[in-house]
Each structure stands twice: as structure tokens, then as C-alpha cells.
Amino acid sequence: QKEVEQNSGPLSVPEGAIASLNCTYSDRVSQSFFWYRQYSGKSPELIMSIYSNGDKEDGRFTAQLNKASQYVSLLIRDSQPSDSATDLCAVNAGTSYDKVIFGPGTSLSVIP
């Protein structure tokens, strides 16, 4: 069974610090990787996507992908209280270009 795993947390960081979230996946043929943010009672919002090995930066967010290790991470710089949410890792399901599998999410709490 194809799986996406994350540390459920909660991950607590002080305001202004770097938050590091990790995700591993089981399907070696996956090519598309996504990070979504979900606030309590709301639906997920896309943070960023990554497809190639290495780093991809977007503002305070940096996604890192290592396909050989089947590992993707998200770094959040200058963490803000508004970052307090559950961040979900999602991986496309095998050769499917549109269907994705979600991890359980990491609950992030940024302490003012």
C-alpha cells in the first residue's frame, strides 16, 4: 500500500525561529510533491509544490526533495503565530498525474 508518513507533532517553535517538517513516501515512481496548510475547521491551501531534487524557495518557505531517499521536507523561516496550523504533505499516486495521497499532517504551533 502506497503511504505518506509525517511526524504528527505537535511541533512547537518560538516566533521567529525555523520550523522543519519532514515527510517520507513509499512509492518510488512518484514525481510530484506538495505541501498544503490546513487551519482548524478549514480546507487545505497549497503552500508549494516541488518536482526536482534539491531545494525550492518561495518567500519564507523552502521545500527540499530527495527522491533517492524518498524524502521531502518543508522549512519555514521566521515562523509567525499565523503559521500555527497542520501542514500536510501530499504525493502523487504512482503514475497518476492528478491523484494524490496525503500524509497525516504535522501540527505546528508557533509560540509568540
Residues lying near other proteins in the complex (CB under 8 A) are found at 32, 34, 41-46, 49, 51, 88, 92, 97-105
Is residue 75 within 8 Å of 62, Cβ to Cβ?
yes
Q: Mind giving me the DSSP string for 95-108?
A: T-SS-EEE---EEE
Smallest separation, CB 85 to other proteins (Å): 14
Q: Smallest distance, Å, CB 8 to other proteins?
A: 9
Length of the chain: 112
**Shortest distance in whole angstroms from residue 44 CB to other proteins:** 5
Closer residue to other proteins in complex, CB, 17/109: 109
> For other proteins, which is the closer residue by CB, 58 or 78?
58
DSSP secondary structure, 64-106, as one string: EEETTTTEEEEEESS--GGG-EEEEEEEE-TT-SS-EEE---E
What is the closest distance, in whole angstroms, from the C-beta atom of residue 104 to other proteins in the complex? Answer: 5
Nearer to other proteins, 72 or 101 (CB): 101
Task: Calculate the alpha carbon distances from 78 to 13, 16, 59 in Å.
Answer: 10, 4, 10
Q: Kindly tell me which of 85 and 103 has the beta carbon lying closer to other proteins.
A: 103
